[in-house]
Each structure stands twice: as C-alpha cells, then as structure tokens.
Structure 1
Amino acid sequence: MRDVADTGGRSPGASYGPLVRLLFVCTGNICRSPVAERLTLAQASRALGDSPELERIEVRSAGVQATPGSRIEPHSSRALHTLGGDAAEFRARRLTAELAASADLVLTMTRGHREAVLGLNPRGLRRTFTLAEAADLAGLADLSGLGLTPVDERARELGRRLDAARARRQAGPADDIADPMGQRAAVHADVAARIDRALRPLAAVLFTSVRSRLAAPVPA
C-alpha cells in the first residue's frame, strides 16, 4: 500500500466501497503526522499482505496550520525511511471540518491538536484521541473479539472501546508528542521512534486479517 496525493490515501486499485478512514493530525503536517501516516501504511501492508482487506483502508494526515502542498521535513523523511516508511509524493494538507468528520478514528500528536479537531467536529469525541493516549488506552480497554470485526467497521469500534476506558487513566503532558521542527536530526529520529512505538498496539488490532482469523484451526 502507498499513500499519494491523487489517491487520497487509498492503496493502488482500491475499491470505492466501505473503507476504514484513519486521520493523523499535527501542526504543520510536515513532521509528526506524515510520519504517523506513512508508518501506518507500512504496518498495514505488512500485516495484510495481498488480502483484499488492504484495499479498504484509507490513511490521511493533516495540520491545523499546514501550508497545503508542502513536502515532509527532510530530517523526518529520513527518520521515516529508517523505520520502514516511504515519504514519496507526500504533500501537506490543512485540517478541515470535513476531514475530521469523515474519519473513523482521529489520532492527534498533542492535546491541543485534539481540541482543534473537536472544535471543528464536536461530535467526534468518542473517536478522537492523542496518539499516545490511544496507545495507552489499548492496554486498558476490552478489545476482545475486535479482530473478528470487519476491517471497515473496526476503527470506529476501537474508538468506542478506547473511549470507554478513558475513565481508567488520567490525561496529562505525557499524552503530547513534541514537535521536532527546527531540531537536529536525532530529535526527529527520537520523535519518529516514539510514534512508531505508539502505533504498534493500535495497528495490531486494526490490521489483523479477518480472513486469517477465520481460517485458523480451532485448538483441540
């Protein structure tokens, strides 16, 4: 799977039927959120392989202050590549109410970004989280049976279950992933690595193939 400007985040040859739509949000959409977007695409591709379920996944990112058309920051691009992602043809986009409302799951880089998303889409609370918050909640929420939910329904159901677990943790500064813009390459690498770690428990749920689960032998 790859995400390019003219396909809106769909895999090549993707159908236009039901999709799971994921949205990552940061400030300028040139460092943190594009890294999250492209790492998610890479993780989905590895997990689902040639399954047709891969064609039903759409991943986008946006910035609350983005300059549309900007390229990913070079240090972040290199950090992304090191982690197995691809920045080819990436172009920044500005966060809009339509993007926020159409996403099944919105993952932001900071609490401030989350508030900006909710300002545009107040009804999206149950599916809007900081990325770090969502990763932490994944260890607290009841995710049983979620891997058997159809891929195009799973993100919204995951959001509901993460939201149900919110009362079990306290939000705070640790929910924010700092902006590496203007920092040295090592800072971009550290931020990208943190994003990668936070994505993994979520990807493990979102991109488990229903087909492989149903085909697995039943233990004796």
Structure 2
Amino acid sequence: MSTDRLRRHREEGPATAFKVLFVCTGNLHRSPVAERFLGAVLPEPDFRVRSAGTAARPAPLDAVTRTILGEMGGDVREFTARRLDVGHIERADLVLGLERCHREAAVRLCPLALRRCFTLREFVRLAEGTSADTPRETVRLAASRRGVVVPPPGESDGIADPYGASPGVHKARALEVRDAVLTLAGILAP
C-alpha cells in the first residue's frame, strides 16, 4: 500500500480495519484458501480477512485442500468452517462469493449489503483500473461499474467447487483462487 494511501486508510481509525469476507458453500475449500492467501498479504490491523460457507458445518479444513494450501505456502494452522450469517455480512466492508450463488445468498441474508457483495472475479474485473484513495472507496467505485464492465465472452465470474474431485482439480481451483486473490490484494493495497 502506498504511503499516502496507507496514511488515509489509517486515519479512518484502528477500529475501522477494512474487513473482507469470502463465501463459498462448505467453507472447506475455496473460501479458506482465499482467506489464508489474502490475510497473508494484507495483514491486520489494517485489514481483517475471514471466510464462511452458505451450507457450512463446523469442521476442519478439507485434508486435500490443507495439503495443497501447505504446498503453496499458505497458512494451514487451526481452521474451523463456519456457516454464513447476517452478522458476518453486516460487519464486512467487502463480501466476495466464489460463485454467483454465494453472492446471492449473502444479499438474501442482508439486502442492504448489495453494493458490497460481488463474486471474487467480478470484483477484480470491476475494480481493476479504478483510482481510489481507500479500499472502501474502491468498493463504491466497483459497485458503480456494474453493468458497464462486462466479462469477456466465455469467461465466468465464478470459481467451481472442487468438492469430490481429484487432487489435481483441487489444486487447479486453489491456483485460480490464489491468482485472483493476489490481483485483489494489488487493487486494495497498491
């Protein structure tokens, strides 16, 4: 994050860390990978990164995902899946579903959060090239570009669920998530 931008972000106060929430289905694969990678590059106290699942039950990180995340240099320490609730959404400055159904579930739970809810790839597409002084302003600019900046033909705003797939598919999905998250980090804290 540039010095001026970091100063402006910190002027909002220590109690106002920018909060990012990743959402997938079980909170066992995609959203924890996103949480761990973004949390590593945008650390607290300026950023707080969490994840939840629309159908999650308390469980540890999926074993295949844990192995792949570790191989990719991600944090594999303690993790327990958690179910998405309205409080998670209300506290987040930016809610990023891994597929459109996750974004839609978040908006159904908290309709007032519509302008803060995107898919991960959708937000990256809408926010790239914007010029904002703070991450919150970046979210506002991205929301204003909905319907104006469309995905290239044949591209999806979602990252498919690797649940039940081979380890190779798990790794491919983890790489997709990581790549999108690294682009996201550059947008939120250039």
Shift of 1:206: 1.9
Residue of 181, 186, 190 corresponding to 1:199:
181
Give 1:162 deviation, angstroms.
0.9
Residue 173 of structure 1 and its aligned partner are, at CA, apart by 6.8
Give the superposition deviation at 1:29.
Answer: 0.3
Listed one character per residue, the Cα deviations across residues 161-199 of structure 1 (whole Å, up to 9, x for unaligned) are 111121223368711211101111111110011011111
Residues 40 and 121 (structure 1), Cα distance of their counterparts in 2 relative to 1, 3 Å cut: same
- Correspondence for 2:146 among 163, 166, 170: 166
Consecutive unaligned residues of structure 2, counting only runs of 5 or more, are 1-12
Task: Give, in whole Å, the separation in 1 of the partners of 2:33 and 2:189.
Answer: 18
Per-residue CA distance 1:123-174 (angstroms, 9 max, x = gap): 11111100111122233x5x22x2x43xxxx2x2221111112122336871
Secondary structure of the residue aligned to 1:17 is helix
Determine which of 32, 35, 42 is the counterpart of 2:33.
35
| AA aligned opposite 2:167 | A
Which of 116, 123, 129 is matched with 1:127 structurally?
A: 116
Unmatched 5+ stretches in structure 1:
1-14, 46-53, 209-220
* Percentage of pairs with the same residue: 41
Q: TM-score, normalised by structure 1?
A: 0.74
Do 2:127 and 2:139's aligned partners in 1 also have CA atoms closer than 8 Å? no
The aligned counterpart of 2:82 is: 93
Q: Which amino acid aligns with 1:91?
A: T
**Contact between 1:42 and 1:84, CA under 8 Å: does it hold in 2?**
no
| CA distance in 2: counterparts of 1:17 and 1:169, whole angstroms | 33
Q: Give aligned pairs, total.
A: 176
CA contact (8 A) 1:138 1:201 kept: no
Report the counterpart of residue 127 of structure 2 in structure 1. 138
Q: Distance in 1 between matches of 2:159 and 2:87?
A: 25
Question: Structure 2 vs 1, CA of residues 194 and 17 (structure 1 numbering), >3 Å: closer, same or farther?
Answer: same
Superposed counterparts of 1:29-68, under 5 Å: 29-45=27-43, 54-68=44-58
| Separation (CA, whole Å) in 1 of partners of 2:119 and 2:17 | 22
Counterpart in the other structure of 2:164: 182
Matching residue's letter, 1:37: E
Rg larger for? 1
Q: Distance in 2 between matches of 1:31 and 1:136?
A: 23
